[in-house]
Structure 1
Amino acid sequence: MMPAAEKLVTDFEAAAEAARDAEALLRKSMAEEIARAERRRAFAFRRARLIRLLVAGATGAETEEAALAQQSRVICADLGFSVDNPAHVEILDRLEPVGKAVWQCVCTTDDQMDAATANDALHNFEAWFENARGQSFYVLFERPAPKTPLVDF
């Protein structure tokens, strides 16, 4: 092959390899961004689930104390917590301001009530949990499916 033709082929091959490398880098970057978006989505739904649990615990309670006790029972049942476990008790205690704010929302008849207090309390709880435990509170909602024995018919 003539030197000019060889250079032409080499240049196009280099351009093709550069495009391949750029595509691989973009795919890696997009995969990481998708993983972050998946995590945000999962935690947003878990956050909504937590608030639903707290609302369910507060609904129908006559007093704030009764609401907080029922909210603790609901959280314990859902997350498999035990009041005999000091770590679980600490989490429940730290979650109490969120429960109080939710109780206030449950008690109000104002449809326009601002949920900022509950949101702020939840963010404070989440920050405490992450600082204390080194992970998001919402990983506690991840439960691996139990292994079931294979049955051969």
Structure 2
Amino acid sequence: MGAADSVTACLSKGVGALVGTIIAGSKSFIAKAKILRKTLGSGMRQVGVLCAPALFTLEENKAKILAEGLNKIKGLKVDTASVQTNIVYSDILKSSNITETHLCNILEAHRVLTMPKGPFKLRLVIHHQISESDVKYTLSCIQKAVNGFIG
């Protein structure tokens, strides 16, 4: 038996959907969860309308595009297989001669908001309204910042 018998994920936080949570577990667990959900008043008739944005966000995952682009920038490294939501973590290689705080400050000056997540680690989150051209702009800014062209 594994470490857990059920899993839940909040779609509004995990992929930028409007609302929603998914749950996975055994058949009997899911049956009990459905009863409990309805008992607590969460039986929605128009749930498909709310599921559509979550499905779209999962299928059009621009975070993967961002992660793949970051991996092409010398001095950065992303485990692209770990990018399953709208969150991307990038390692900043020490050979790039830039710290996470300095990189965040440079990018903020160009309207790209990022978050340092420890020594030489950066966190980027894609919102559902971020376009593919926004991702390209972000990658361009990061490329220039890492190479010392903007600052």
- Same fold (TM > 0.5): no
Point out which structure has higher relative CO (alpha carbons under 8 A, 6+ apart).
Answer: 2
Which has the greater radius of gyration?
1
Richer in strand (by share): 2
More helix by share: 1
